[in-house]
Amino acid sequence: MRNPHIAGWKMHSTLLGLIFLFLPVRSSALAQDEDGGDPARKTNLEIFRGEIASIAEELVQKSNLRSERNLFVNVRSPDTSWAAPNSLLEALKRLNYNVFLSLAGERGKVAILDLGFVEARVRYGPAFREGLLGKRKTERTVSTVISGNVRDGKDEIVFAGSLSRTFRDTVRVGELTELENPAIPFTRGEPPEGGFFDNVLEPLVLIGASAVAIYLFFTVRS
């Protein structure tokens, strides 16, 4: 005859095993958040440089500066680093313009670009998971806005306004430190807030699992 106490013990042991099995599986899934990201993914600084280059090309087109190859560029940035202004100067050089930071020679041969970075910013959306135990991800938004005016060799304003670019994609939370540059403030964003699973469901699951484990432990002992 089957002993009901032995059967009950086996059942409780099985339930305990399943509950405690869940915890290390979940911990392993969270540990995967720290894995390295996609090596081919662009860093925030690389995205900024691409946006700035695109803005520089549009600025030249809108200003119709094809006949004037010498540019005096006065560019300001709220950021303390030179990364953003230098990226703009490099982009203009790649467009085959002679770029100067001081007015030298005859004024009539130099177009003046008086520009400033209104925005150079990285934002992260709320963290989310693809699946219950999936890696934590967030939407990355990289925004660049340049405003100012351009005067040709005759001192006529040929452009005045703002130009902007916005880049969006999805990245893993665990790779944000690899995408940012600690020495350049505008490449860093506020860490993403937790999503529904992290803020609500995860604590409930842990509390529930712990409560059931404690209940079964004392039930088995009695």
Candidate from 23-27, 56-60, 107-111 with smallest mean pLDDT: 23-27
* pLDDT above 90 (res 216): no
16-20, 43-47, 132-136: segment of lowest average pLDDT:
16-20
Residue 16, pLDDT score: 46
CA 107, CA 199: separation in Å to the nearest integer? 62
| pLDDT category of residue 47 using cuts at 50, 70 and 90 | very high
93-119: pLDDT as tens digits: 999 999 998 876 655 678 999 999 999
Distance CA 115, CA 88 (A): 10
Taking only the tens place, the pLDDT of each residue in 118-176 is 999 999 999 998 876 688 999 999 999 999 999 998 889 999 999 999 999 999 999 99
Name the residue type at position 178.
E
Q: What is the pLDDT of residue 185?
A: 92
Place of tokens 């087109």: 61
- Contact of 127 with 198, CB cutoff 8 Å: yes
pLDDT at 197: 47
Stronger pLDDT, 29 or 53, i.e. the higher one: 53
Look at residues 82, 197, 211 and name the one whose alpha carbon lies nearest to residue 133: 197
Extract the tokens encoding 204: 């409930």
